[in-house]
Amino acid sequence: MAVHPLWEKYPDIRQDLIETKKVMEKSVKIRNKDITQALQLFFEAGGKLLRPAYFLLFSKFGEEVSEKKAHRMAASLEILHVATLIHDDIIDDSPMRRSLPSIQASYGQDIAVYTGDFLFTVYFHLLSTSTKDFKTIEMNAHSMKRILVGELDQMNLRYNTEITMKQYFQHIKGKTAQLFEFACYEGAHFAGCSKRLQLTAKRVGYNIGMAFQIMDDVLDYKSTETDMQKPVFEDMKNGYYTLPLILAMEKNHDAFVPYLEKRTELSDKDIKEVQELIVETKGLERAEAIAERFTDKALAGIQKLPACEERDILYDVTSTLLKRKN
């Protein structure tokens, strides 16, 4: 079993992630062989397993924990993440995910709805059989609720050319930062770390999540069909107006509106023109600068942690992930 090359340099966490993946693959074994196979292929397709990894790394800062339980909790986080991805792909009608056809493209949206639902139950089941701490259950329920409220917020913002930075931040908080924040926090909580360390973990996770999502949104405007595994400008066509565009629109709102009104009908020529407009108005640079601020905060938080190997790994991985040289 392989995990993403990001983890090659860190044999311990790499091994933990291999165990986590085993739990994931086992937990989706059901009568319906098609679904089992589709999910296992999806897991094999090599996501970075960031949420389990951050959970596991933060779980090393406290008392020694049961490895088996830690792997199950870590797996539950990734399963929850994959459930939301599968449902997101229905909403966005996405043909691809991780270089594979999405579940909805392969099996139709009906199966995709139930497969996502099924993964919610797997998440819940893994969680309920790996902790005896009610606070953990409650935190999970609360966190999951916030993620879904975030998804619903997002639906209200689609194709809204008046979207503000504040609305965007609120949206990506729910969509992405919430689960990163929770993974880090849950890891520290699971290991019985001090309240203070738990809070630091939470903030670090939040800042990583925000930076990660902004960088991802920047990439959507920078990429060409060939270097990404998904069509370019997908977000804009789908009505998700993200930070680079929001910042660009601040400079020249009226220039963008005629393009945005074309929605999914944007031509290749349009896309090229919008790309140029965003470059002119420095939308990408300014978005990257904001991502960098979140990254800086995340790294500063990590440096406040007690010195140990895991702290160094957290620093290293977070820098690499968020494409920082220092």
Residue 97, beta-bridge partner list = 100
Q: Residue 157 interacts with a copy of itself (CB under 8 A)?
A: no
- Rule CB under 8 A: say whether 66 interacts with a copy of itself: no
Closest approach of a copy of itself to the CB of residue 114, in Å: 5
Give the count of residues interacting with a copy of itself (CB under 8 A): 43
Output the smallest distance, CB 144 to a copy of itself, in A: 5
Under a CB-based contact definition with an 8 Å cutoff, are residues 244 and 324 in contact? no
CA distances from 213 to 32, 52, 131, 205, 207 (A): 34, 17, 30, 12, 10
Residues 6 or more apart from 76 whose CB is under 8 A from it? 122, 123, 126, 127, 130, 140
Distances (CA, A) of 214 to 76, 210, 259: 25, 6, 22
Q: Please give the C-alpha separations between residue 125 and each of 37, 52, 79, in angstroms, as whole numbers.
A: 20, 16, 11
Question: In angstroms, rounded to a whole number, what is the distance separating the alpha carbons of residues 126 and 59?
Answer: 17
How many residues does the structure list for the chain? 326
Our finding on whether 128 is near a copy of itself (CB under 8 A) is: yes
Q: Is 322 helix (H, G, I), strand (E, B) or coil?
A: coil
Which distant-in-sequence residues (6+ apart) come within 8 Å of 199 by Cβ? none
Which of 131-139, 206-214, 250-258, 304-312 is the region at the interface with a copy of itself (rule: CB under 8 A)? 131-139
Least distance from a copy of itself to the Cβ atom of residue 44, Å = 20
Q: How far apart are CA 232 and CA 219, in angstroms?
A: 9
| Cα–Cα distance measured from residue 211 to residue 289, given in angstroms and rounded to the nearest whole number | 10
Q: Round to whole Å and give the CA distance between 318 and 326.
A: 11
Give the nearest distance from C-beta 153 to a copy of itself in angstroms: 6
Q: In angstroms, what is the minimal distance from the CB of 238 to a copy of itself?
A: 10
Contact between 153 and a copy of itself by CB under 8 A: the answer reads yes
- The CA distance from 221 to 263, in Å, is 15
**Contact between 30 and a copy of itself (CB under 8 A)?**
yes
- Alpha-carbon span 297 to 224, nearest angstrom: 30
Among 15, 37, 66, 121, binds a copy of itself (CB under 8 A): 121
Decide: is 148 part of the binding site for a copy of itself (CB under 8 A). yes
Using the rule CB under 8 A, is 41 a contact of a copy of itself? no
The distance in angstroms from the start CA to the end CA of the chain is 31
| Interacting residue with a copy of itself among 99, 152, 195, 325 (CB under 8 A) | 152
Residue 142 interacts with a copy of itself (CB under 8 A): yes or no: yes
Is residue 138 at the binding interface for a copy of itself, with CB under 8 A as the rule? yes
87 contributes a contact to a copy of itself by CB under 8 A: yes
Applying CB under 8 A, does 124 fall inside the site for a copy of itself? Answer: yes
Among the listed ranges 112-120, 159-167, 175-183, 282-290, the one in contact with a copy of itself (CB under 8 A) is: 112-120
Q: Could you say which of 35, 172, 188, 193 contacts a copy of itself (CB under 8 A)?
A: 35
Stretch that binds a copy of itself, among 82-90, 175-183, 260-268, 298-306 (CB under 8 A): 82-90
Question: Using the rule CB under 8 A, is 166 a contact of a copy of itself?
Answer: no
Give the binding site for a copy of itself (CB under 8 A). Answer: 30-32, 34-35, 84, 87, 90-91, 109-111, 113-118, 120-122, 124-125, 127-129, 132, 134, 137-138, 140-142, 144-145, 147-149, 151-153, 155-156
